[in-house]
A and B are shown apart, each in its own frame.
Chain A
């Protein structure tokens, strides 16, 4: 299993540009999440999904959009990029099953710079 994969690894955007961060998982997990990690800070939840076709806002959703058309994929769309969106973005997934650990599996991250 590849686990959670994210592309691209690095990206530089100009202010006002748009892009999509890709995320895919091959563990058949129902739950998927997008977090951002700013320097010296913890991860903050942007959006999450409990299954295909179902998404919900997290703590910091402004400036982002998501869709979940399949179980495997959960892309994050940035519209009109702003310097405040410079961050490292992590995608994660977890199982709906009754594992007591409710473990979230994280991808390697996408480092985005907006200038």
Chain B
């Protein structure tokens, strides 16, 4: 049973465009929603995270939008750059448990 569903599986965006990746979760006990970025041959690294008490969080060109009632959250990458080309994973966890449940990943390619 997949508790965090992620889409699309792959995404091609032109340089300067907006990349949007969506995730939906089922477990209403989740209360922490991070996004991880993974480059080929590397382990994932935390990009940005949000808690359900806010609807949006922005860090530089990266923004998480969160819709608690719909149980959905999304990552927006503004002014996408070729260096952003990577695989992005959404995840969710329950405070106190710490272990993450990951989405299936989105492979982003930003074309110059």
Contacts and interface: CB of A to CB of B under 8 A. Distances in A.
A, B: real partners = yes
A102 B99 contact: no
Contacts of B4: 42
A103 B46 contact: yes
Nearest to B104: A42
A50 to B, nearest CB: 8
A106 B44 contact: yes
Interface string A31-70: 1010100001111110010100000001100000000000
A35 B6 CA distance: 18
Chain A interface residue number, banded? 20 to 34
B9 to A, nearest CB: 7
A40 B102 contact: no
Contacts of B102: 35, 42-44
Contacts of A41: 104-105
A103 B62 CA distance: 17
B98 interface: yes
A108 B89 CA distance: 16
Of residues B6, B44, B51, which shows the largest number of chain A Cβ atoms within 10 Å of its Cβ? B44
A92 interface: yes
A108 B9 contact: no
Contacts of B91: 42
B93 interface: yes
A61 B12 CA distance: 35
B99 A42 contact: no
A43 B44 contact: yes
Given A33-B98, A41-B105, A106-B44, 8 more contacts: A40-B105, A43-B44, A44-B102, A58-B99, A102-B98, A103-B46, A104-B98, A106-B45
Interface of A: 4, 31, 33, 35, 40-45, 48, 50, 58-59, 90, 92, 94, 100-104, 106-109
6 contacts: A40-B9, A43-B44, A45-B99, A102-B49, A106-B44, A108-B43
